[in-house]
Every structure is written in structure tokens, then in C-alpha cells.
Structure 1
Amino acid sequence: MAITKVASSKSLSIEIQSGTDTSGQPTYSKKSFSNVRNDVEPQAAFDVAEAIKTVLDNPTRSYFLNSASTLVNA
């Protein structure tokens, strides 16, 4: 039997500086934005993350495009 992977959802996450640790190094938490289109181009997702970054109070570090898929027994 052939198993097929079907994209079910995508989200965009941005690491935002949330404070500092005991040695003074920055710590980060992730803010996620769900319901990203499954066919989004990586450049478009990056551009949106850059736009979001401009309105945030704290510095950011990395952007993530997270994909979830369902495995279907076809």
C-alpha cells in the first residue's frame, strides 16, 4: 500500500527576545502565527516575518516556517 503525505497546515514562528539568563545572555520565546497558506513561498513568509519584526518592541532572532502533514493510506 502506498502512503501519501498531505499537507494539512502551516504556521510562521518568530523567536522574540524575552529576557536574559543569569549570565546576561538573551533568552528567546516563540510567537506563532497559524493559518499560513500551505502553498506559501518561503520568500513571502520571510517578508511577512520581517514586517512583523518592525512592529515588535523586543529584538528577534530566527524565523521558522512549520509544516504539519497527514499520512494517508492510499
Structure 2
Amino acid sequence: MQTEKYRGYTLWGHAILQQEGIPQPAKFAGSGTVTRDTKVVEVSGVLDAFDSDEEAELVGLSWCRAWVDSHG
């Protein structure tokens, strides 16, 4: 999980390991969470599946920034 402060909000990028089938390479579901003052403001749900946890987290953070920009 990655986090960052952005325009008064705390943003969280999540990567959730997907184990649909073995021996397929691991995939990670990406999502984002926007919080303010320790309260959840918005949650993205699953955005897509990615080959790395870092990519999934970065896409989640990007979604969060876009949400703040459109609702701030």
C-alpha cells in the first residue's frame, strides 16, 4: 500500500493479490481510497488487474488524485 498527502486529503493506493489460477503469473487488483481527517471520503472499487503490486498502487493513487481534482 502506498499513501500520499494531496490538497488536504490522504490518498491510499492498494494492491490486492489475485489468485485466480495456478500456475498463472500473479496479478494484482488496483484500487484507491480517499480519506480526510481519518474519515473515508471515497473508495474506487477495483480499477483493473496489473502485473505488479507497485503498478496497481500507483494507478490507485492516480485515481484518488483525479477524484480530489474533480470534487475539490
TM-score, normalised relative to structure 1: 0.37
RCO comparison, higher one (Cα < 8 Å, 6+)? 1
- Structure with bigger helix share is 2
TM-score, normalised relative to structure 2: 0.38
